Amino acid sequence: MTTGRGVELIGGWFGSGPDRGIALVFTITGIIGLVMTLLALRSRFYRLLSQRYLASAGHPPPAPQASPAPHMASIEAEH
Amino acid sequence: MKIFYHLLGNTLLASITNFTVWFDLTFFVYLETRSVLATSLLAGIYLIAVAVSGFWFGSLVDHYKKKHCMLASSVVSLSIYSLGFAIYLLAPPDAFKSPASLTLWIFAPLLLMGVISGNIRGIAMPTLITLLIPEERRDRANGLLGTAFGVSFLIVSVISGLLVGLAGMFWILVVGIVMTVLALVHLWLIPVVEQAIVHIDGKPQRIDIRGTLAAISTIPGLFALIVFTTINNFLGGVFMSLMDPYGLSLVSVEVWGLLWGMLSLGFIFGGLAIARWGLGRNPLRAMFSANITIWAICSVMTIQPSIALLMVGMFIYLCVVPYIEAAEQTIIQKVVPPERQGRVFGFAQSMEQAASPLTALLIGPSPSSSLSRS
């Protein structure tokens, strides 16, 4: 970020030169990460996994599996 | 709980030992060959081996008793370090000088395998937390586990430069062997009650990718969680690889090294805060709050060329990072059936490592910058 339109646009305030270029990558990475996180937060997977976590009473300390849970049966069926 | 503390201490000892061998091996290779290519190659071998071994280690942890897996991990490390020691003693003194030396490329990858063998603990420990700790306290235990890894990293980054400078490879291997024996004996004496392993899916397979994917896909959102963490790690890797050049544009090498030493305490504070207060009712919420904090900080901390701004931002960043890992573990410990957790943790480890080569290169010792610091 030493020359060009980007420098004319924000260089006066953000600064210019190679170091400020790196700085800009941080800022852009941060914004991408933030947008991605907010999208994921609104997604189906967040809701489903949250519900699953809060709903399940949790797995009891692994006792010998007398009756496998339904989802385990479905895995076994695949084998 | 007391057993858990013993296991935690044992993990701390083993990971300090393994990290020390790894860091000092990299320094050693650089000092002998003066070739950055050789150390990069070593980092590449390490990365690929970690990503591939995650699947396999996960299967092992599910199919055998977890304590036995950890014992085996130490036995393998011990044998490899001893063999490496023998090679080091027998080789002529200038055998490691050339980057093309055959002895070097037997010696170095061999020792790396000893280090990687220690990664079984990273998979076995979260599954042991499931076994030993009641559900409502697991988030805190995961916080402590994160702290233990953070502490070992901090200790190693402080001592490894000193060790290789003052003692050389001979003493590093001696220390590695002695400390691995100590960890082995201590682990042997810890009584861990584990029920017989239920082989629900027949004979143990070496690398059970299908079974793992099946287990993950039965839980809605779990695969997405792992992908999400992977993308985050990747972005984090991009960002971390630029941290040194950016920091060095603001302050001198000495000041930068010192500041990083202090910043890494943030990681430990974060882990301790989780151990004290937990993650709340819904760890997924904690995880997302942590991610939002991290990215928000990242978007503003370089907005002006100020070292104070960067340091405050990075300190908060490092305090928050342990929440993400601990939350992921806590969720997997609850929603995945215990007999499959090893494979799911192994899979997550493989994915996250494979996607963040830059992270691995940065977290890995970088001799050019570290040596110029000292």
pLDDT (0 to 100) of residue A70: 40
Predicted model pTM: 0.81
What tokens appear for B244 in the block?
């040194």
Q: Residue A48: which of B198, B220, B238 has the nearest Cβ?
A: B220
DSSP SS3 for B302: coil
pLDDT (0 to 100) of residue B206: 59
Distance CA B106, CA B109 (A): 6
User: pLDDT 10s digit of each residue in chain B, 374 long?
Assistant: 789 999 999 999 999 999 899 888 988 888 888 887 888 888 888 888 888 888 889 989 988 899 999 999 999 999 999 999 999 999 988 888 888 889 999 999 999 999 999 999 999 999 999 999 999 899 999 999 988 888 887 888 778 777 877 778 899 999 999 999 999 999 999 998 887 555 555 555 556 677 788 878 888 888 888 888 888 877 777 777 778 788 888 988 788 878 877 888 888 899 999 999 999 999 999 999 999 999 999 999 988 888 999 999 999 998 998 999 899 999 999 999 888 899 999 998 888 776 655 444 444 454 444 443 33
| Cβ atoms B136, B277 nearer than 8 A | no
Within its chain, how far is the Cα of A64 from the centroid? Answer: 35
Cβ contacts of B225 on chain A, cutoff 8 Å: 45, 49
- CA angle B62/B64/B69 to nearest 5° reads 100
Helix %, strand %, coil % for chain B, to 5?
Answer: 80, 0, 20
Q: Residue A34: which of B299, B304, B337 has the nearest Cβ?
A: B299
pLDDT (0 to 100) of residue A6: 67
- Cβ of residue B195 closer than 8 Å to a chain A Cβ: yes
Q: Do A53 and B335 touch (CB under 8 A)?
A: yes
**B284 exposed, middle or buried (CB, 10 Å; 0-12, 13-18, 19+)?**
buried
Inter-chain contacts counted by CB atoms under 8 A, chains A and B: 154
- Taking CB atoms within 8 Å and a gap of at least 24, the contacts of A11-14 are A14/B303, A14/B304
ipTM of the complex: 0.74
- CA angle A42/A44/A49 to nearest 5° reads 105
- Cβ of residue B224 closer than 8 Å to a chain A Cβ: yes
Distance CA B310, CA A23 (A): 10
Q: Residue B331: which of A29, A43, A53 has the nearest Cβ?
A: A53
Total residue count of chain B as it appears in this document? 374
pLDDT (0 to 100) of residue B27: 85
Q: Do A14 and B295 touch (CB under 8 A)?
A: no
pLDDT (0 to 100) of residue B371: 40
Report the candidate in B13, B9, B5, B3 with the shortest Cα–Cα distance to residue B181.
Answer: B13
- CA angle B306/B310/B316 to nearest 5° reads 150
Report the candidate in B347, B351, B69, B119 with the shortest Cα–Cα distance to residue B212.
Answer: B347
DSSP SS3 for B172: helix
The torsion angle over the Cα atoms of residues B252, B257, B262 and B264, rounded to 10 degrees, is: 130
Give the distance from residue A24's alpha carbon to the nearest chain B alpha carbon, in angstroms.
7
Q: Residue A75: which of B196, B214, B246 has the nearest Cβ?
A: B214
For A13-70, the pLDDT digits (tens) are 777 777 888 888 889 889 999 999 999 999 888 888 888 888 875 544 444 333 334 4
Q: Do B288 and A41 touch (CB under 8 A)?
A: yes
